[in-house]
Structures are given as C-alpha cells and as structure tokens.
Structure 1
Amino acid sequence: MKMTKKGITLSLGLVVMGSASFAQSISDAKKAIDAEQYQKASSMLKTLVKTQASKGENYYNLGEVYLRMDYVDSARAVFTQGVAAEPKNSLNYIGLGEADLISNNAASAKTNFAKAVEVSSKKDWIPQLYIGKAYIATDKPDFESALPYLQKAEELDVNDKDAETFLALGDYYALQKKNSEALQNYMRAGNINESLLRGKVQIGRMYTESRAFAESEEVLKEVIAKDPNYGPAYREIAELYMQWANQIPAEFKARAAQALENYKKYIDLTDNSFESKLRYAQFLYYAKDFKTLEEVTSALATSDPNNEKSLVVSRMRGYSAFENKNYPKSLEYMNDFFAKAKDPKRIIASDYLYLGKALAENKQDSLALMNLIKAVEMDSTNVEALADVAKRFYDAKNYPKAIETYDIVNKYNPHGKGSLYNFYYRGLAGYLLYGQGYSANTNPSKDLLVKADAAFATVLKDAPTTIDVLLWRARANNLMDSDTDPKGLKLPFYQQYLDSAEVRIAKNIQPAPPVKSMIEAYNQIAGFASYKNDKAKAKLYWDKVLALDPQNATALEGLKSLTAPAPKAPVRKK
C-alpha cells in the first residue's frame, strides 16, 4: 500500500539545539513526527517558528512535516523562510534540495546541497546525514548519490554518538532489499539508543516483505508491548496482516479484519486529521472493505471540500461506489475526479480502469474501451477488465469491435488469467464475421479466417485437451479452402477431433463429446472422400454416422451417391 510520500517511513533525526526549554520543545516535536502525529508536530513547530523566528531549525522541521504530508509547495515556502531567518544554518538548504528531488529537479537539488555543505562545519556530520537521507526519501531513491553522504556522516561521527546515522544506513539498504546489511545497521542503531523504536519497526517490515509473516508479527508485537502508544507499529502490523490476507485467500477475511483493527488504532494514535482519514480510506480499499470506504470518503468530501487532496477523495469515492455496484454514482465520481485532475501526472492506471468499468456498466462501451485501453497501456495487469468489454462486444455480435479489443487483450495477456477464453472468443469473432460476409456475398477477406485459426491454434497449444476447438479449426480451414479445387484443409482437424472423441468415449471420460459434433466430423470426412472417389473411406465414415443417427439424411444420401456414375462435390458447410 502506498503511503504519503514514501512507503517506507524514514526517521527525521531532528537536531536538538539551544536552551534546555527549547530542546524540550523540539524534542516533543521530534517525537510527534517519529510517531507520525503530523498535525500535532505541525502545531508545535508553527508555535516555535513564531516565538523563535531566528532559529532555522524550526523552519526545517516544519518543512519536513509538510513534505511528509505531501504538501511540497508549502514545504518549499517554509524552507525559503528558514534560509532567510538563518542563512548560515545548513538545514533549510537541505530541505529545499529534498523538495527539488521530489519535484524531479536533481540539478537544483545538487546546488542546494552544495550550499548546505558550504555553510556548515567540516566536522559536522548532520548535513551529510540529512543530504544522504534526502536522496532516499523520494519515490525514486538515488542510491548512488546517497551513499557517499551517508558514509561521510558515519566517518565524521567518530564516536558513533548518533543512532540516526545507522538508522539511515538501514533504510538505505532496506530500500534496495539488502536485508542483511539493513538488519546490521538497524540493530546497531538500537544498541546506541534503545528507545529508538523505528529501527525495530523497519525490521518487522523487512520480515513482511520476505513473507516471514509470523516473525514480523512477533517483532512488531514486541514494539507495541514496549510502547503501546507508538502509532507506526500499528500501521506496520496492519500492513503485515493485509499482506498475509492476500497471500492466503482462505484467511483473507480474518486477516483483513485484523489489519483494519490495527490501522484504526494507528489513526487514533496519530491524529484525526483529513490526511489521516484519507490514509485510512486508502487502506480500506486494499482491505476490500468498500462499504466502510464509501462512508468514510463521503464524510471526507463534505468535511473539507476545498482541501487540495479532495482529488484523491473523488478517486476513492468512484472506486468504492463501483465495488458496491452503484455504477451511476461511480461514473459521476470518476468524471468528477477527471475534471479536477488538471495535472496528467496525478492520474494513475486504476483511474482509467474504474472510469472504463463504470462506463461499461452504464452501457457506454466505446468510451469504456478507450479508457480501458489507457489503463492497460499503463499497467498490463488491468487487462481483465478490457477482456470483459471485448466479451460485451462479442455478445452483442459486434464482431469487428470484439476482434479489435481481443487483439489488444491478447497482446498484453498472452498466457495469463483467462487468456484461453480470450483467444477462443477472438477466433470465434473472426470466424463469425467472415460467415456474415460470406452469407451476404460481400466477399470478406480470408485473412479473417487465417487469424481466427491462429487464435484457435493458440488455445490448443496451451490446452490440447480442449477438443471442441478442433472443430472450429476444421470449420475455419473448410472456409479457407478453395471453392473450385479444395485441398481438404479441414480434414486433419476433423480427424483429430474424432480420434480424441473416440478415446473419451472408450474411457468414459466426461463430458462426453456431443453426438451432433461427431456426426458433423464424420460427414465432412466422408463427403471429401467421396469427392476424391475414395468410396471405401466414404462408406466407412457414413456408416459411422448412421450408427449414431440411423435417419441422418446426409449420410443416407451420401451412401446412395457412391453407386452413381460421378462423385458429388464435397460437403462444405454444416
């Protein structure tokens, strides 16, 4: 689940400076931030900014809170004020650099970091540490740039006084899935400062990511036992139970309930702000509690309609309404979302997915197709919804649209869930479209049959026991054959069908092949044999037909024709 700013929450490691009373205030703010109580921390730091306006550190910490809440512009403004208030303090240059990285402006970030180093003491490890952390605190960490700063911070902290240095190194390795190195650094941080719970929570996270769920649960419960009011531990154990639920479908309901219970504790222990409720709403989506999600997002929409994150609320409302089968409302909310989403970068694949599905349920298939294609292009795992629209076109006998859509589906999902059905219906759509044109004498292209046959062949390659598809290959090849000089393209497929069907009957394998289909295959083979004047083979197969259906007109007429002076033309159609 994606949290604000970063999935893995990196500790701030706020610097304690100034008088004893000031240190206590900053310490309280630091604890609030570490506990992810961002509203509380913000309130404290705003007071400090007012009462001690010359202290650049106050601005830096407030800006960091804004970054964690995903208010980058607000953070940048505060960092700028901090530079003006105390130009010789390196922290706000670092904050500006971090904001630059989040805004994908690496060049500006480098300039601000260089300025931070310039104004700081050469023996001060804090700027090195914070710059290193800034490089890994974005959605796209720059590990190559981060490492030299983190290593320099460790070098300058000659007596290993600062547990935050090792906590940051732990984060550096954890983000790269280098769990052994991460564990060493988290444990080292804990040895320096036993009250530092963040490292222990991160160890629990690593166990979760390794699917060692029981071990993760044990570690996180230890943190909760040590400090029952430490919110991040509840968030992480909620994430653990959610992943556990998804890995074991039979336990999904129970584990998801545990996840929601613990996430609610996390919300209660942090702050009951718009942002925390929004994070709860996002978690409800992953827990598939769509009924509660619809209630929570409805309340959010009315409580603060002008909040800049109302865009996400519209998104969640659209998602939940669809999952609750309220399709008209889902379309309304998704249209509202897209109307508000001025920046295309804010639109994700699932937005197009839910808009497309809502349009489809509201019988707007062409618009649904357009949006679902976008969803699949952004994330191929969304292809199942596009396959549903393709089947709608097929069921409506809109074979051209069905073919067009299935071709996209099969491009992105050649072997995944439902792929056999997708290729099967793609083949049928092509065959039936050709048949429509053939019956209407519009001279349809045989390329339709070639591609239909290729789709059927794909089904048989992955599922060779699906013998009914052999009939469709036989029928397609029958139509592909020459009208004036047929080569018998259909014969191998009809024969393969009969061979498989007869084995199934002999072994009493269910379901038994339909008698009608076997009669079709026997008649087709017999008819072509008669056309080639192979009377013995023709009689053999027509006798097989009569054994199944003694009154079958095609077989009776065929047997009569064998004594005629010239053979009849082959049977082309059913």
Structure 2
Amino acid sequence: MKISKKAITLNVGLVLMGSAVFAQNLNDAKKAIDAEQYQKATSMLKSLVSSQASNGENYYNLGLVYLKTGYIDSARAVFTKGVTADAKNNLNLIGLGEADMLSNNPTSAKTNFDKAIELDKKNYKTYLEIGKAYLAQDKPSDDVSKPDFTNALANITKADELDSKDKDAEVFLALGDAYALQKKNSEALGPYMRVGDVDPNNRRAKTQIGKMYKESRAFPEGEKELQDVIAADANYGPAYRELGELYLQWSSFGTDQEKAKKGIENYKKYMDLTDKSLESQLRYAQFLFYAKDFQTLEQVASAIKVSANDSKGAVVSRMKGWAAYENKNYPQALTSMNDFFAKEKDPNKILGFDYLYLGKAQLKSGQDSLALINITKAVEKDTTNVDALAEVAKTFFDAKKYAKSAQIYDKVIAASPNGKGVLYSYFYDGLAYYFDYATQYAAKKNPSKDLLVKADSSIAKVAQLAPETTDAYLYRARVNSLLDDEKAPKGLMVPHFEMFIKKVTEKPELVTANAKKLSEAYDNLGGYYFNTDKAKAKEYFEKSVAAYPSGTFASAKLKELSAPAAKGKGK
C-alpha cells in the first residue's frame, strides 16, 4: 500500500506538473497572439491541440489565429473539432459565431452565440468573447462587413457586470476597443487606463492609448506612451508599428524627413519582431513611398511574393509601378501599372495615384492620348493630381497641337482654379488659343475670333494674378492686334503695348533682356500712329531704334517720315 500511495502521489504530481506546463504554454501562445507573432502562436497551439486534444480552449485560440490571418475556412474547421472534443466548453461555439460574422452571416452567428450562452450563461467570459467577436469585423481589407457595436457593447457590458470584482483586464481592454473602433477616444481612454490598474504588465492598452494620441495629432504625447511600452518590453512588436505610424503621420505636417525615416525604422522593427505578413510588407512599402525612399521601395516591392490567385497581387504590382516611375524606370512602370489594372477588378479599390502613374508612364512612352484619359481620371478622383494633367497639356503644346492643349489647360484650371501652378496654366492656355488661331489663320482656314477672346481672357488673368509678368502684357497686345478691325483698327493693342513698355523700363535690368520685344512694342505703336500723329509715330520709331539698333522696320519708317512730301498735282 505504501508503494501504491507513493505511486498515486507521484501520478498526481505528474498531473499537476503537466497542467502547469500546459497553462504556461497556453499563456505563452496568447502572448504571442497579442504580440502579433501568429506563426509562433500557431505552432504552439497546434502542439497543444495534439497533446491536450480534449481541451477546447486550445482549439479556440488556434481558430482565432486563423481568423486574424484571414483563413476563415480553416478556423471554422478547427472550431468544429473543438466543439466535438470539448462539448461542455462554449468557446468554440463563439468562435464559429465569429467566423459567421466575418462571412457576413449574422443570423447563423447569433444561433451559435445563443448556444454558447445556454452552455454557460453565468460566466462573464461567455459575454466577453461574444462581444469581442462582434468587434472582430473591423478589418482594413474588408469593404463589406462592419463591427456590430450595439451587440458588442451590450455583451461586454454584461461581462463587466458579471466580473464584479474587476479581476480581468481583458474586459476593460475590450470595452476600450469598442469605443476606440468608433473613434470615441474620450470614452475609450478610461477603460484602457483601468487595464493598467488590473494588469500592470499589459502592453496593448498603453499601445492603444499611444495610437489614440496619434489619431488626435497629439504626437509628442503619443510618442511618450509608445516609448514607455518599448522601454518595458523591447520585443513588443505592435508598439513599434504604432510608433512607426505616428512618426509617418507626424512627418506629413512639415518637412521633417527625419521623422519619416524614424517611421520606416520602427515599422521595420515591427516586421522583424512579427511574422512579416503580406499585409505588413505592403504597409512597409507604403511607408517607403510616403518617405520618398523609392529605391528601397522598388527593391522591397519586387521581393514580395504572392500566389497567382491572391488579390493582394494587384497591390504588389501597384507598388512596383509607383516605385519604378519615381526611379525613372518608365518601361517597367508602364508594365507594372498595366499589370495592376489587369488584376484589380474592383473599381472602388483603384486610387487616383493608380490612374496618375499609369498616365504618366504612358506619357513618357509617347502614348499621349491614353495618358490624357488616365490622368483625367486621376484628377477626377483627386484634384491634387492636377499638375500631371498640366504636364499632358504642355506635351500637346510642345507638339504644336494647340487646340488639344487649350482644351486640357481649361480642365486644369477648372479642376484647381487656386492651385499653386494655375498661373502657368493660365499663361499657356492663352498661348495655346493664340497659336491655334494664328496657325489656322496662316493656313487660310478662317478661324473664329472666339479663340482670341479666350486667349485674351486667360492671359489677362495672368496679369491680374502676377502684375509683374511683363510677357502677359506683350501677348495681350499681340492678341488684341488680331482682334482689332483690320480695315478700321481701334487701337485695342495700344494700352497693352504701353503697359509692357512701362513695366520693362521701370527696371533697367529688364531693358537689355527685352530689347527685341521693346522694339516690337515701339514699332507697333509707331505704326498705329503713323497716319494720324506723325510726331508721336516718329518718337516711337526712334525709341525702337535705340532699344534694338539692328531692327529694320523702325529705321525704314523714319526715312519715310523724313522724306520731303510729294507735291500734289496742279501745285
């Protein structure tokens, strides 16, 4: 019997030791999940499922990892096995309900949740996990399902009531999440701070507080919270991710590229500490783009591997295309952007930048018409892309396709009438209309003078916005010269030539640079007054010769004016 008692005692000890090892391993697996080390957690939980096959909590946590990484079918299979293996444990029914919610089947989800409640309706954890399941729909890549905040809060509040001694920090964490996901940061702050009181070693609540500071643009405060987390646990990846996001957003409010670099450094640290998931790799690529590290971006994007049927393949092609264009690798940019559009079938997921980079790559490849179509779409999605449309207009202008150029410049001005480059657009818009008229006139096509009216209107806007732009007055004079009546001119050009002369001669340093243009102005004014006010005409012609001695028109006219008058017949 003594031996028997010793054996029994030893066996009990082995059971207790096994339980302790199991609890420690499950706890470690949960920590790995919280730290977003999903591959590590999966490995640990698979081992636990194998060695402790009758414990439903193992299956539940493994299923949650599958849900977090987007494998809903795998999660459902694990939860189903968990229900069979541990029928009295309601967690896997909740897991099935969460899978239903993520599959947009709330009716089936409620059925599973109700079954879970019937199994253990007095346990606060039942309601806590159901509440978290309702929140789990908040996925950046999910454009259909949204969190059910009403049911989430109802269940988490019920859990809080049942956990009357406030012994579980997870309740406060879930309550904070429910408010934070609704962008109700003030309401979320209290529960998150309570987490620290219950569990001082909890890293996620403080990380979430830092994230909320970032969202409120309280960057120094957010930075401190996140650095405190890292000081307490240098291996907690999510804190680095949020710190990286904070620095990137902070850098966008100025020209501080150092903060953008810090953003990249911290996000890379996050990736090194986690699984380098496809989503995190793509986000890292976005960091590099916004930080303008295009060389690294092209390398990183080219190294990302995706399966042929993975929808993320389109995003990879996008990043390759953007980077290649910025690195002046235009043929590759065009190939990658065409590949993106071939893969991305959802028009709601196509960004203005996608049309922009496709159009710009086409422009560099001489595909002007296609470039116009796509850059116009880019501007329609985001008017900040209007500079690229102006680039297309200039391309048509340089190719002497003035009518098309003017049409595009009109769109540029309409899209961004107060944009930083609008002065340039108004000027070339006017020139395009002017040269379109002049080209048609030279070809004897009898162009409409409406073209000149439009030219004058646009160039007048330049003079209004930038009065020191001397060429604006010169071109208005040229345009109005053509607008005037050929047989009985009214001198429409006169005030504009006079203003041009005034603006140039006010600044001696402009005179030499504009000698030929000054001569043109003086010649035209002298010619206008030649038959009505010879003294005035002579004055202008003399100024023309002084400004530009090699000119021939003024000197010839001066000779005419100095020649003796012909005697009339009979005198």
The bucket for the TM-score relative to the shorter chain is: 0.7 to 0.9
1:136, 1:146 within 8 Å by CA — same for their partners in 2? no
Q: Percent identity?
A: 50
If asked which structure has higher relative contact order (CA below 8 Å, sep 6+), I would say 1
**Alignment match, 1:415:** 418
The count of corresponding residues between Structure 1 and Structure 2 is 530
2:64, 2:95 within 8 Å by CA — same for their partners in 1? no
Q: 1:143 to 1:516 in 2, by over 3 A?
A: same
* Alpha-carbon separation, structure 1, partners of 2:50 and 2:96: 17
Task: Determine whether 1:298 maps to 2:298.
Answer: no
**Alignment match, 1:15:** none
**Alignment match, 1:200:** 206
Secondary structure at 1:157 match in 2: helix
Q: 1:562 to 1:38 in 2, by over 3 A?
A: farther
Deviations 1:382-428 (A, max 9, x none): 23233223222222222233223323333323222322222222222
Task: Determine whether 1:92 maps to 2:96.
Answer: yes
Q: 1:367 to 1:549 in 2, by over 3 A?
A: closer
* Alpha-carbon separation, structure 1, partners of 2:529 and 2:57: 93
**Alignment match, 1:224:** 230
Cα RMSD (Å): 3.9
**Alignment match, 2:454:** 451
Q: How far is the alpha carbon of 1:438 from its aligned partner?
A: 0.9
* Alpha-carbon separation, structure 1, partners of 2:172 and 2:535: 88
Task: Determine whether 1:469 maps to 2:475.
Answer: no
Task: Determine whether 1:260 maps to 2:264.
Answer: yes
**Alignment match, 2:521:** 521
Q: 1:380 to 1:164 in 2, by over 3 A?
A: farther
- Counting only pairs closer than 5 Å after superposition, residues 265-284 of structure 1 correspond to structure 2 as 265-284=269-288
Q: 1:36 to 1:557 in 2, by over 3 A?
A: same
The runs of 5 or more residues in structure 2 that have no matched partner are 1-18, 566-571
Q: How far is the alpha carbon of 1:266 from its aligned partner?
A: 1.3
Out of 319, 323, 331, the residue aligned to residue 320 of structure 1 is: 323
TM-score (structure 2 length as normaliser)? 0.79
* Alpha-carbon separation, structure 2, partners of 1:170 and 1:84: 32
- Counting only pairs closer than 5 Å after superposition, residues 131-530 of structure 1 correspond to structure 2 as 133-134=135-136, 136-137=138-139, 146=149, 149-150=152-153, 153-154=156-157, 156-158=159-161, 159=164, 160-171=166-177, 174=180, 179-249=185-255, 251-252=256-257, 254-301=258-305, 309-505=312-508, 514-530=514-530
1:321, 1:330 within 8 Å by CA — same for their partners in 2? yes
Q: 1:120 to 1:421 in 2, by over 3 A?
A: same
1:135, 1:143 within 8 Å by CA — same for their partners in 2? yes
Q: Which moved more, 1:78-87 or 1:540-549?
A: 78-87
* Alpha-carbon separation, structure 2, partners of 1:221 and 1:33: 21
* Alpha-carbon separation, structure 2, partners of 1:55 and 1:512: 92
* Alpha-carbon separation, structure 2, partners of 1:511 and 1:147: 75
Q: One-letter code of the match for 1:310? A: G
Q: How far is the alpha carbon of 1:439 from its aligned partner?
A: 0.8
* Alpha-carbon separation, structure 2, partners of 1:530 and 1:519: 16
Q: One-letter code of the match for 1:133? A: L
Deviations 1:131-159 (A, max 9, x none): 65246555779999625742663365123
* Alpha-carbon separation, structure 2, partners of 1:483 and 1:331: 51
Q: One-letter code of the match for 1:292? A: T
Secondary structure at 2:507 match in 1: helix
Q: Which moved more, 1:435-444 or 1:352-361?
A: 352-361
**Alignment match, 1:103:** none
Q: How far is the alpha carbon of 1:202 from its aligned partner?
A: 2.6
Deviations 1:165-203 (A, max 9, x none): 544554455566655444334323333332222222233
Task: Determine whether 1:78 maps to 2:75.
Answer: yes
Q: How far is the alpha carbon of 1:45 from its aligned partner?
A: 5.0
Q: How far is the alpha carbon of 1:355 from its aligned partner?
A: 2.1
* Alpha-carbon separation, structure 2, partners of 1:65 and 1:478: 77
Q: How far is the alpha carbon of 1:228 from its aligned partner?
A: 0.7
2:60, 2:78 within 8 Å by CA — same for their partners in 1? no
Task: Determine whether 1:37 maps to 2:41.
Answer: no
* Alpha-carbon separation, structure 2, partners of 1:176 and 1:451: 51
* Alpha-carbon separation, structure 2, partners of 1:511 and 1:540: 18
1:57, 1:82 within 8 Å by CA — same for their partners in 2? no
TM-score (structure 1 length as normaliser)? 0.78
Q: How far is the alpha carbon of 1:229 from its aligned partner?
A: 0.7
> Which of structures 1 and 2 has the bigger CA Rg?
2
* Alpha-carbon separation, structure 1, partners of 2:54 and 2:402: 72
**Alignment match, 1:3:** none
* Alpha-carbon separation, structure 2, partners of 1:389 and 1:334: 18
* Alpha-carbon separation, structure 1, partners of 2:512 and 2:183: 53
Q: How far is the alpha carbon of 1:231 from its aligned partner?
A: 0.5
Q: 1:173 to 1:412 in 2, by over 3 A?
A: farther
